[in-house]
Amino acid sequence: MKDFIAYCGIDCETCETRLATINDDNALREKVAKSWSEMNHAEITPEMINCEGCRIEGKKTPYCATMCPIRKCAQSKNYETCGSCAELETCDKVSMIISDNAEARRNLKP
């Protein structure tokens, strides 16, 4: 499994949040913050857009660091990703990602 595949299957290497972080791109941070604020009906500021990867040591967004139920669950079970879980196909947590993201679903399959 690639290190940059998140617990949920998202490829962190292509994530705009990670790209904004590693390239110190404030314009991209602003774009992502605006998009995420609208999508999540919550105030997300450009300062929150800092992440180096879900399973990589380093910076995380506040949501990913402390609130993401998918990340918390996989870490509590010591799974490399949700792809290691027998409940993958019936899990309500990861379904919010893989139900409409075919690439993330493929990334979790061996």
- Model confidence over 14-53: pLDDT tens digits? 999 999 999 999 999 999 999 999 988 999 999 999 999 9
The CA–CA distances, whole Å, from 80 to 20, 25, 48, 86 equal: 25, 29, 25, 13
Report the chain's mean pLDDT, rounded to a whole number: 95
Taking the complete model, does pTM exceed 0.85, yes or no?
yes
* Mean pLDDT, rounded, for 42-65: 95
Angle at 25 between CA 24 and CA 31, to 5 degrees: 140
Instruction: Identify the CA nearest to 12 among candidates 60, 53, 68.
Output: 53
